Structure 1
Amino acid sequence: MKPWKIALGLAAACAACCAIPALGLAGGLAALGSGLLACAGELLPAAAVLCTATLAAAAWWWRRRAARSAAACGCSTACSREG
């Protein structure tokens, strides 16, 4: 048997072995999405609050990081490296 055929067979076996858990994960995510979509009206207010809180926290972190960066270089705007 030629070495490339052995390598091809090993690669196919490895791909098949790794695909089995991935298919289960994809099926689980699809079922979760279907369940969430079925009761979307009940979860919409909680999801909106969670998204708003996440965006507010991200904006606060971004502004704090920009302020620290501006204070570290001693200029009024954040330092940029050109070149």
Structure 2
Amino acid sequence: MNTPQSMMLGWGSLIVAAGVSYYYAKQTIVERRQMQEAEGKRPSEKLDWRSRIERQERQASSTQGTSTAPASGVDTKK
């Protein structure tokens, strides 16, 4: 039923299929990252987690501007 040849053929085809899928997925990911970097949506430099948090906080504060709503989202007017 499961001869050594059939098992080798099955595992070999599985490994080849996984390798081909990995190759095409990696190409797609690299292309998407390059497009995002060209559009300015993705930073090109590597940041540690502290720098990323600081950058997100600066972006959040610049997009909010001067908001009068409470941060918790609870309405204090009654």
Q: In which range does the TM-score fall when normalised by the shorter chain?
A: 0.3 to 0.5
TM-score normalized by the length of structure 1? 0.43
TM-score normalized by the length of structure 2? 0.46
